[in-house]
Chain A
Amino acid sequence: MAIELSPQTADGTVPSTFLDVRDLRVHFPTEDGLVKSVDGVSFALEKGKTLGIVGESGSGKSVTSLALLGLHKGTRAQVSGEVWLDGNELVGLSEAEMRALRGEKVSMIFQDPLSALHPFYTVGNQIAEAYMVHHKVSKKEAKERAVEMLKRVGIPQPDRRVSDYPHQFSGGMRQRAMIAMSLVCNPELLIADEPTTALDVTVQAQILDLIADLQEEYGSAVIIITHDLGVVSQVADDILVMYGGRRIEYGSAREVLKHPEHPYTWGLLQSMPSLTGDVHAKLNPIKGTPPSLINLPSGCAFNPRCAFKDRVPDGRCTTERPELRPMAGNEKHIAACHLADEEKAEIRGTRDKTDRLAK
Chain B
Amino acid sequence: MSTTESIPEQKPASAAQSGGGENLLEVNGLQMHFPIRQGILFQRQIGAVRAVDGIDFAVKPGESLGLVGESGCGKSTTGRLVTRLLEPTAGSIRFDGEDITHKPVTKMRTARQQLQMIFQDPYSSLNPRHTVGTIIETPMRLNGINPEQGHKKRAQELLEIVGLNPEHYNRYPNEFSGGQRQRIGIARALALKPKLIVADEPVSALDVSIQAQVVNLLQSLQEEMGIAFLFIAHDLAVVRHFSQRVAVMYLGKIVEVGNREDIYARPRHPYTHALLSAVPEADPDGGDRERIRLAGDVPSPINPPSGCRFRTRCWKAQEKCATEEPPLVQISGNSAGHLTACHFPEEPSITSRDEDVVLDPALAALEESAGSGAAAESSTGEADKAATPEKSEKATDKD
Contacts and interface: CB of A to CB of B under 8 A. Distances in A.
B363 A56 contact: no
Nearest to B242: A273
A228 B369 CA distance: 30
A229 B282 contact: yes
Contacts of A282: 216, 219
Contacts of A276: 281, 283, 287
A152 interface: yes
Interface residues of A, number: 59
A206 interface: yes
Contact of A233 (B264, B283, B369): B283
A171 B177 CA distance: 29
A171 B297 CA distance: 8
B274 A233 contact: no
A328 interface: no
Nearest to A283: B212
A279 B263 CA distance: 13
Interface string B261-280: 00010000000001111111
B237 A272 contact: yes
A202 interface: yes
Interface in A195-235: 200-206, 208-210, 213-214, 216-217, 227-234
Interface stretch (B23-31, B46-54, B203-211, B338-346): B203-211
Contact of B280 (A57, A230, A269): A230
Contacts of A248: none
Given A217-B370, A227-B207, A285-B210, A202 B275 contact: yes
Contact of B237 (A157, A210, A216, A274): A274
Contacts of B235: 201, 273
A233 B70 contact: no
Contacts of B211: 271, 285
Interface in A18-72: 56-57
Contacts of A13: none
A272 to B, nearest CB: 6
Contact of A213 (B277, B298, B370): B370
A83 to B, nearest CB: 28
A285 B280 contact: no
Does more than half of chain A's interface fall in helix, strand or loop, or is it mixed?
A: helix
B210 A289 contact: yes
Contact of B209 (A152, A228, A230, A271): A271
B294 interface: yes
B221 interface: no
Contact of A271 (B208, B276, B363): B208
Interface residues of B, number: 53
Interface in A268-314: 268-276, 279, 282-287, 289-290
B207 A206 contact: no
A173 interface: yes
B209 A267 contact: yes
A242 to B, nearest CB: 13
A156 interface: yes
A285 B179 CA distance: 12
A201 B70 contact: yes
B399 A156 contact: yes
A109 to B, nearest CB: 15
A43 to B, nearest CB: 19
B284 A289 contact: no
Interface string A108-149: 000000000000000000000000000000000000000000
A233 B370 contact: no
B362 interface: yes
Nearest to A290: B207
A170 interface: yes
Interface string B282-301: 11101100000111111000
B370 A273 contact: no
Query: Which of B219, B293, B360 has the most chain A CB atoms closer than 10 A to its own CB?
Result: B360
A167 interface: no
B362 A152 contact: yes
Q: Which 10 A-B pairs have the closest CB atoms?
A: A154-B362, A230-B280, A285-B212, A271-B212, A205-B278, A213-B366, A286-B209, A283-B212, A200-B70, A229-B282
Interface of B: 70-71, 177, 179-180, 207-213, 215-216, 219, 234-238, 240-241, 260, 264, 274-284, 286-287, 293-298, 360-363, 365-367, 369-370, 399
Given A57-B207, A205-B280, A227-B208, 8 more contacts: A153-B362, A202-B294, A206-B293, A206-B295, A230-B282, A275-B276, A285-B213, A359-B283
19 contacts: A154-B295, A154-B362, A200-B297, A204-B278, A205-B293, A206-B295, A210-B363, A210-B366, A217-B366, A217-B370, A229-B282, A234-B280, A273-B235, A273-B237, A274-B237, A274-B283, A283-B215, A283-B241, A285-B211
